[in-house]
Amino acid sequence: MFGKGGVMVMLGGSHPVSPTADDGVGGPTSAAPIQPLQEIIVFDLYYQKWYSQTTSGDAPEGRQDFCVAGAKGANDSTYEIFVYGGWTGSFGQDVNPDSSDVYILTLPAFRWIRAKDSGSVPRAGSSCQVVGGRQMLSFGGWDPTLTDWFDAPDPWTYGIGIFDMTALKWTSGYNATADPYIPPDRVTGFYEQNSRYPSWDDQELQTLFTTANTASRPTSRPSNSSETNDSAVTSRQTNAGAIAGGVVGGIVFLTILACLWYFLRRKRRDHAKQHEHEQADGVPIPPELGPDGGTKPAELGPAMVWEKDSVPVNSGRANRGAALEME
């Protein structure tokens, strides 16, 4: 909804530095500097460029391991990012006394709004997801204000909390028939009384947020989305043709083998019948030399040749090969 190809917004967290101490669980320590939430990092997905923008309003303190969920306003007029929980990386040191509150960053105003509700609990490390219209589900995590959080019982059943993003209240359960999301009154009230846009830190960023998202690709890239789609279609057609040709060729090959097997089988049967007639007529069967130069009972030459080489077995090997090729 913003820019030609959309944007990516980065919030808070800690900077990637080598920790100077161990927090006991292999995570970042209090020594890792925290990115302030008063400054938001924006990435232009179309032109592949980074920006930063200063926010206004009741911004939360810097933190990490918080969860976020986003929801569009009516007619894509605004976009609200809901931030819940978080900590600074030190157990039992809740320097974020608001880690139990939900904060809203509304775009394009880049305005923070604090949604304080007594039904919440301090939480860090949870996951959030928009479910069922206007509801945000928080799952898992721990209480960063406790040193024995792994032994403390979770006040929420199964560690699940449900937040109504329009009423700005934690609820007692999930509502499968909840209404679609609409921005809360505190958000709409802000836009009614203030400018839709902030004081921009960068003119290019202003252009980015005042340009409609066309979901296209720049011409300077190797290929656009339509070319990619055409290529994918052509590839699928080529693969389908190759598979169809392989199947038809395999069927023809198997048919030829079946006919050959039938012909040889019939020929062997005819030889056997002829041999039976010769025995019935008293025609002697020529002897065959054995390993010691003597004679041994003669075998049916032609019939035994086919029995030894076994054309059906050869056909079987060909069938397995053809099947493996077609797979």
Q: Residue 237: pLDDT band by 50, 70, 90 thresholds?
A: low
Partners of 135 in the beta sheet?
A: 131, 164
Residue 304, pLDDT score: 32
Residue 18, pLDDT score: 54
Contact yes or no for 124/66 (Cβ under 8 A)? yes
Residue 152, pLDDT score: 81
Q: From the CB of residue 274, how many other CB atoms can be counted at a distance below 10 Å?
A: 12
Gyration radius of the chain's alpha carbons: 38
d(CA 159, CA 144): 14
Residues 6+ apart with CB under 8 A from 315: 257, 258, 260, 261
Residue 93, pLDDT score: 57
Output the average pLDDT for the chain. 74
Contact yes or no for 244/326 (Cβ under 8 A)? no
CA 263 from chain centre, in angstroms, equals 56
Return the SS3 of 211: coil
Q: Is the pLDDT of residue 63 over 50?
A: yes
Q: Which amino acid is at 96?
A: N
pTM for the full predicted model: 0.62
Tokens of 230: 């055409």
**Lowest mean pLDDT: which of 40-44, 191-195, 257-261, 314-318?**
314-318
Q: What is the pLDDT of residues 90-117, one digit of tens each?
A: 665 555 567 889 999 999 999 999 998 8
Contact yes or no for 89/140 (Cβ under 8 A)? no
Q: Is the pLDDT of residue 151 over 90?
A: no
Q: Is the pLDDT of residue 2 over 60?
A: yes
Share of the chain above pLDDT 70, in %: 60
Residues 6+ apart with CB under 8 A from 129: 69, 136, 137, 139
Q: Which amino acid is at 104?
A: I
pLDDT average, residue stretch 65-73: 94
Query: Which of 27-36, 71-80, 206-215 is predicted most confidently?
Result: 71-80
User: Helices in the chain by DSSP H: which ranges?
Assistant: 185-193, 203-209, 225-280, 301-309, 311-326
pLDDT average, residue stretch 135-146: 90
Tokens of 125: 């490390």
pLDDT average, residue stretch 119-139: 92
Q: Is the pLDDT of residue 89 over 70?
A: yes
Share of the chain above pLDDT 90, in %: 38
Query: CA 171, 65, 41 angle in degrees (round to 5)?
Result: 105
Return the SS3 of 252: helix
Contact yes or no for 6/46 (Cβ under 8 A)? yes
Partners of 80 in the beta sheet?
A: 71, 106
CA 257 from chain centre, in angstroms, equals 46
Q: Residue 15: pLDDT band by 50, 70, 90 thresholds?
A: confident
Contact yes or no for 187/104 (Cβ under 8 A)? yes
Q: What is the pLDDT of residues 267-325, one digit of tens each?
A: 676 666 655 555 555 544 444 444 444 444 433 333 333 333 333 333 333 332 222 12
Return the SS3 of 290: coil
d(CA 56, CA 194): 12
Residue 321, pLDDT score: 21
Residues 6+ apart with CB under 8 A from 101: 60, 84, 114, 115, 116, 117, 120
Q: Is the pLDDT of residue 3 over 80?
A: yes
Residue 214, pLDDT score: 58
Residue 48, pLDDT score: 95
